[in-house]
Amino acid sequence: MEHEAAAAQHNEHPPTTIRQYVMIGLILTVLTVIELWLSYSGLPHGPLIAALLFFSAVKFVIVVALFMHLRFDHPLFRRMFAFGFVLAAILLVALLGLFWGDHASTDLVGGIPEGAVVAGHGDSEEGEAEGEGEPAGDPAAGMVQGIPVAEFFQANCVACHGPNREGVTGLGLPLLPSVLDQPDEFYHDTIANGRTGTAMPSWTATKGLTDADIDALVQFIKHVEP
């Protein structure tokens, strides 16, 4: 009897109209646009991840509650869903906290680790002093993900570093050969892993750049004038 009563209660809810479905779709679209904007807004990693998680949770609840009609179901199902949702959120936050420290171990002064002395790719300090600034081949002819390195830079890096690599205040430092005096390894690590507390993301994580791609970018910014 209880099951039949619950089924009858479920069938009594007013049907969702086409207009309501359209409105829900528009809301989900707006939330997705906001997420995309946040991804390219240059927010620090912490607030960015928190904001994206919030909007994703809102979209998830809307889909489950309205499209899947959970809000009209038996209260037991809503409690089961709420318990699982909270448990998943706690697990996600715990995982973020566990791995967050891996990206926060570098103290930056103007985007450069304070007192950093980094050796090149397997080179000794003496070899670095002799060979630094002598790239193999033509740095301007490098390729990144199958396209010329200059085209890749224009398509992906000018928003933060400027079309002439002069830098953008509050976003990215200048990337001119005259000011890039750190070893190649430093710039390779910056591109690969990003810099915590700045707008610089991990290009290995976001774009899947390989070591060869990153090396081409490093040689381009260090040895090719804009």
Residue 134 has a pLDDT of 54
Residue 104 has a pLDDT of 47
- What is the reported pTM? 0.42
Domain end (from 103, 134, 155): 103
Low-confidence ranges of the chain (pLDDT < 50): 1-3, 6-8, 10, 102-133
Residue 86 has a pLDDT of 76
Same domain membership, residue 144 and residue 52: no
Domains of the chain: total: 2
Q: Residue 219's domain is classified under what CATH number?
A: 1.10.760.10
Same domain membership, residue 204 and residue 114: yes
Q: Using H for helix, E for strand and C for coil, what is the string for the chain?
A: CHHHHHHHHHHCCCCCCHHHHHHHHHHHHHHHHHHHHHHCCCCCHHHHHHHHHHHHHHHHHHHHHHHCCHHHCCHHHHHHHHHHHHHHHHHHHHHHHHHHHHHCCCCEECCEECCCCCCCCCCCHHHHHHHCCCCCCCHHHCEECCEEHHHHHHHHCHHHHCCCCCCECCCECCCCCCCCCCCHHHHHHHHHHCCCCCCCCCHHHHHCCCHHHHHHHHHHHHHCCC
Residue 148 has a pLDDT of 92
How far is it, in rounded angstroms, from Cα 17 to Cα 101? 48
Domain end (from 103, 131, 148): 103
Domain end (from 74, 103, 132): 103
Residue 193 has a pLDDT of 92
Same domain membership, residue 142 and residue 164: yes
Same domain membership, residue 197 and residue 118: yes
Residue 105 has a pLDDT of 45
Domain that holds residue 60: 2-103
Residue 114 has a pLDDT of 45
